[in-house]
Amino acid sequence: MTRAMNLAAFVARMPQARWFRFTAPATFYALAGRLLPWCWGAAALFGLAGLVLGLGLAPTDLQQGDAYRVIFIHVPAVWMSLVIYVVIAGWVGLSRVLKTRLSSMMATALAPTGALMTFIALWTGSLWGKPFWGTWWIWDAHLTAELVLLFHYLGLMLLQACSAGARRSDRAVAVLALVGVVNVSIVYFSVSSWNTLNPGSGIDFTRAPSMSGMMLGGTLLMAAAFWAWSIAVALHRVRSIILESELGNEWTAELPEARP
Amino acid sequence: MNWHSFAEFGEMGGYGVYVWGSYAMTAAALAWEALMLVQRQRRACQELRDQPRLRAGQR
């Protein structure tokens, strides 16, 4: 713990750390507000391009027919469900080390989006699996770990709602977040190696391309759209969280949002 | 373009239920999240606007 405190003091003293001023909720509120339109725009643009390419232009798959088109939302949703969890764990870790309030606010802002992405991943995976495996669900490593991930997200949201700055539950959030990272790696590695039903990730850059260019392009465009969406949503939600916690402070009363 | 008609696009080669079921639920989930976001920010701003009046009343 003392080492962590030394690190925090060291980073705070770094003269070149001008980015550090963005850890102040007031500064970040304004920064996030300026970034938001670009994130929403990117999400809309990539999403539209991905849908046109994926649903309109990409050819029908020889083995799976048109059912494979679920891939354009399933794979990005799975990716985001994993990425967001790791990012949350990173923010939680940062808030433990640096004691910056903004870090734990970002962790709180991301959790509902992670849960939603996990739900979309499970839903689309189930609908994709039905026509080919003959079942909506199977308790294999990949699907089970993804379901456990959903419970991790829900647990995080519950703890974060209870915590709101209380020390002890902050530690509980940290423990849960770190334990969940192990589960995330199970989901990640089980797609390719623990394969029972899942058709493999389909995207393998080391071998000859197993997907057509348009299928890959559509998937990557939709992944970019999901990334932009998640960033936009997190920035939007963290602004609400900042306002809620900074209520009564001078700078919030001076915002244009505060004028009647 | 793969499709020759809207009906064909809707059928998705016989997998329409699965494909559109996925896309519809995703769209609904994202729309719901956006709605929640807007409502939460609106509520936070409303609390902000109520705040100064409270303070002025106390003085």
DSSP A104-160: HHHHHHHHHHHHHHHHHHHHHHHHHHHHHHS-S----HHHHHHHHHHHHHHHHHHHH
CA distance, residue B29 to nearest chain A CA (Å): 7
Residue with token string 């962590």: A4
**What is residue A104's predicted lDDT score, i.e. its pLDDT?**
87
Average pLDDT, chain A: 82
Q: Which residues of B touch A66 (CB under 8 A)?
A: 12-15, 19
**What is residue B41's predicted lDDT score, i.e. its pLDDT?**
93
B19 touches chain A (CB under 8 A): yes
Question: Which domain, by its residues, includes B15?
Answer: 6-58
B35 touches chain A (CB under 8 A): no
Indicate whether A41 belongs to any domain.
no
Indicate whether A142 belongs to any domain.
yes
- How many domains is chain B built from? 1
Indicate whether B1 belongs to any domain.
no
**What is residue A5's predicted lDDT score, i.e. its pLDDT?**
64
**What is residue A4's predicted lDDT score, i.e. its pLDDT?**
63
CA distance, residue A121 to nearest chain B CA (Å): 9
Average pLDDT over residues B41-57: 76
Indicate whether A38 belongs to any domain.
no
Indicate whether B33 belongs to any domain.
yes
- How many domains is chain A built from? 1
Per residue in A203-230, pLDDT tens?
544 444 456 788 888 899 999 999 999 9
Indicate whether A36 belongs to any domain.
no
Indicate whether B49 belongs to any domain.
yes
**Res. B50 pLDDT band, cuts 50 70 90:** confident
Residues 6+ apart with CB under 8 A from B13: A60, A65, A66, A67
* DSSP code per residue over A30-71: HHHHHHHHHHHHHHHHHHHHHHIIIIIISPPBTTTBGGGGGH
Q: CA B45 to CA A13: how far, in whole Å?
A: 35
Indicate whether A196 belongs to any domain.
yes
Start-to-end CA distance of chain B, whole Å, equals 69
CA distance, residue A238 to nearest chain B CA (Å): 10
Residue with token string 């713990």: A1
Partners of A61 in the beta sheet?
Answer: A65
Which of A109-113, A154-158, A179-183 has the highest average model confidence (pLDDT)? A109-113
Question: Which domain, by its residues, includes A115?
Answer: 75-217
Indicate whether A91 belongs to any domain.
yes
Locate A45 and state its tokens. Answer: 């643009």
Phi then psi dihedrals of residue B2, to 5 deg: -85, -20
Indicate whether A255 belongs to any domain.
no
Indicate whether A165 belongs to any domain.
yes
Average pLDDT over residues A134-160: 87
